[in-house]
């Protein structure tokens, strides 16, 4: 089976959505009161207070993860064609430019600190590695999806809608063809 650019783009978009969902799941758990992966709740609460409280530190970032998923899906789903492609692609490339370096630098920094025996006092290294891995995968998914959808005419056309019956009965029969 051959892989087409559109199939590759869809796969990349789905992988990116899964990464965004992983990040959003951790933040949602914290927003609902969980302390999963938290070493010191007082340090986390101080950090959230400095940023603007849980509304900004938690729920705004969950919203951004959902927005990232919507941008990815808009590039590969028929409903996304309602928005100009240049805008959708620009947002995807911006997501790549922001998320990839943050994910890569955060991941390498976290691993370096863990190896050196100087982990962060707020969260466990596993949470940082998970979050920064999600950022890196999301950023790369933005790039692959934007790149593989750069020729929109290569995307398959949406399936035709089935004919609907009216309230009065089935649709009128087609006239017989001339032979």
Residue 176: the pLDDT is 57
User: pTM of the entire structure?
Assistant: 0.81
pLDDT string in tens for the chain (179-residue length): 567 888 999 999 999 999 999 999 999 999 898 999 999 989 888 988 888 888 888 999 999 999 999 999 999 999 999 999 999 999 999 999 999 999 999 999 999 998 998 988 899 999 999 999 999 999 999 999 999 998 866 555 555 666 665 566 555 555 555 54
Q: What pLDDT, on the 0 to 100 scale, is given for residue 172?
A: 57
Query: Can you give the pLDDT at residue 119?
Result: 82
Q: Residue 142: helix, strand or coil by DSSP?
A: helix
Q: How far is CA 50 from CA 53, 55, 57, 79, in A?
A: 7, 12, 9, 39
Query: How far apart, in whole angstroms, are the C-alpha atoms of residue 177 and residue 152?
Result: 36
Provide CB contacts within 8 A for 97, sequence distance 6+. Answer: 139
* pLDDT reported for residue 155: 55
What are the structural domain ranges in the chain? 5-145
């Amino acid at each position: 089976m051959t892989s087409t650019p559109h199939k590759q783009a869809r796969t990349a978009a789905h992988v990116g959505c899964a990464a965004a969902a992983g990040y959003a799941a951790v933040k949602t758990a914290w927003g609902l009161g969980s302390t999963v992966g938290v070493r010191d709740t007082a340090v986390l609460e101080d950090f959230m207070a400095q940023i603007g409280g849980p509304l900004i530190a938690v729920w705004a970032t969950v919203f951004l993860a959902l927005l990232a998923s919507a941008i990815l899906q808009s590039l590969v789903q028929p409903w996304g064609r309602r928005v100009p492609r240049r805008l959708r692609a620009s947002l995807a490339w911006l997501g790549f430019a922001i998320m990839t370096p943050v994910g890569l630098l955060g991941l390498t920094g976290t691993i370096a600190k863990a190896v050196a025996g100087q982990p962060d006092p707020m969260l466990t290294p596993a949470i940082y590695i998970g979050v920064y891995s999600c950022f890196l995968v999301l950023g790369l998914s933005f790039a692959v999806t934007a790149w593989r959808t750069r020729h929109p005419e290569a995307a398959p056309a949406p399936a035709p809608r089935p004919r609907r019956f009216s309230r009065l009965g089935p649709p009128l029969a087609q006239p017989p063809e001339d032979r």
